[in-house]
Amino acid sequence: MFNKILIANRGEIAIRIIRACKELGIKTVAIYSSADEHAQHVQLADESILLGDAAPKESYLNVDKLIRAALDSKADAIHPGYGFLSENASFAATVASAGLTFIGPSADSIRAMGDKAESKIAMKKAGVPTVPGFEGLESDVDFKKAAKEIGYPVLIKASAGGGGKGMRVVNEESELSEAVESARREALNSFGDERLLMEKYLADAHHIEFQVFGDKHGNLVHLFERECSVQRRHQKIIEETPSPLLTPKLREQMGQAAVAAAKAVNYYNAGTIEFIFDPILSSFYFLEMNTRLQVEHPITELVAGIDLVQWQIRIAAGEKFPFTQNDFHQHGHAIECRVYAEDPANGFLPSTGRLLQFIEPRGPGIRVDSGFTIGSEVTHYYDPLLAKLIVHAENRDAAIQRMQTALSEFIVHGVVTNIDFMQTVLKHADFAQGKVSTRWVEKNLESNSLLSDAQAPELQSLIAAALADVVFVGVKAQSAVSNETDPFTPWKQTNSYRN
């Protein structure tokens, strides 16, 4: 087992990894930017190293600085978390070349699944169903011919892309040339790669993914599905497991396809096979593979009864995964809501500022993974995810009710959040019936049916103003305490609110 692990990430996922390491008796090294000097993950780690300025390229994306920090701190391994460099094959290879262990899959597996066009070709060879479409398109003539054969609407996608970038829906031929040009331009700017592919656009499809997990000894299983169809800007907001749509037979078929997909690239450690599912035809198609730990991994942990992060570390250290597929069963129902600092009424525009109040819900079956506390600063440099609120209950109805209660007790002031928006989604009849497709949020926002219960901005402003002075004094007091030289002062045991 490793003696020390450097965590190449920040926020809630860094804290999640730190806690897993502590339970395994492993020391941790946090890295941080100038904007994260007082962040929670820095305080919780055994050691911390300043990498550079707030811009990610100067800190969390700077490979040379990360490797140097790991070597200087005498770490054995690097855990990338999710985002940043977690799916960067070159980074994984560099970590290995430096004599360190990358806690994740091999660079070859990341590379094989990181290219959407190449991964689709590999999945076809492995017999995994893929969305009808074409790769390797270049000229306008190629795109028009492919679209005519597929049939409109079609989806243009960046081959090396993700997160909705370089993606365009085209409804008719007159829109095609402009869509291809803009998608190619965005793909080049975002990924340095202008290659595109085309697929049939499934307008009312569901996004269902399967968690896979394997070791370096050839053992590979799936840990069931996650329904991830509640999305905005092609990014998930609410996830749940089990999916309300899948029958036992369909779950088994998709699980087997997920394992086959992972085996096709000799995969080990944690990964996710994402499918698009057509409920009308009851058909599913391979979408892509995330070669890392997912943001929504906690709901799988609660339903499958396994600590995925600890097993990531143990597998990376060379242990065998001692479980077979028959050892896993789904117990109860789990839901995750991503609490973002963003304004749903304003196109989900990120919100920045100091957290004047941050009260997390507590109670049976409630888990909160967060990287913020009262007095924390939400900046524009990083993803505006404040916390992941996760609930677990005996069935779906009970889980929905528990989540609604937990959301009502989650108090955040100082920034605008999507808490009220998610409450409205959970109360909607379509969600109760499992009828939420990937475009459902977009369609309902056009009719304003999801914003009726949103908290008035005027009230948020009044509350923020009332708390600002009090919290500012507390934060200043905490800053003063952090500079106190007496190691036995009781003030070091308090937080900014108490001060």
> Among the residues of 126-169, which ranges form H helices?
140-150
Domains 132-200 and 206-446 share a fold: no
- Residues 147 and 195: beta-carbon distance below 8 Å: no
Per-residue pLDDT of the chain in tens (499 residues, 90 and over written 9): 999 999 999 999 999 999 999 999 999 999 999 999 999 999 999 999 999 999 999 999 999 999 999 999 999 999 999 999 999 999 999 999 999 999 999 999 999 998 888 898 999 999 999 999 998 899 999 999 999 999 999 999 998 876 678 899 999 999 999 999 999 999 888 788 899 999 999 888 999 999 999 999 999 999 999 999 999 988 999 999 999 999 999 999 999 999 999 999 999 999 999 999 999 888 999 999 999 999 999 999 999 999 999 999 999 999 999 999 999 999 999 999 999 999 999 999 999 999 999 999 999 999 999 999 999 999 999 999 999 999 999 999 999 999 999 999 999 999 999 999 999 999 999 999 999 999 999 889 877 778 754 444 555 555 655 665 555 555 555 656 656 666 566 665 555 544 4
CATH architecture of 206-446: 2-Layer Sandwich (3.30)
CATH number of 4-103: 3.40.50.20
Catalytic hit among 195, 292, 367, 396: 292
Strand-pair category, 196-200 with 168-170: unpaired
Question: From CA 255, how far away is CA 140, in angstroms rounded?
Answer: 38
CATH number of 132-200: 3.30.1490.20
Q: List own/partner pairs for 22-29 with CB under 8 A and 24 or more apart.
A: 23/307, 23/310, 24/310, 24/313, 24/314, 25/1, 26/1, 26/2, 26/313, 27/3, 28/4, 29/4, 29/5, 29/69, 29/70, 29/73, 29/75
- Kindly list the domain boundaries of the chain, sorted by start residue: 4-103, 132-200, 206-446
Would you tell me how many other CB atoms lie within 10 Å of the CB of residue 118? Answer: 15
Nearest by Cα to 292 from 392, 211, 237, 233: 211
Q: Could you tell me which residues come within 8 angstroms of residue 408 by beta carbon, excluding any fewer than 6 positions away?
A: 423
Q: Is 292 considered catalytic here? A: yes
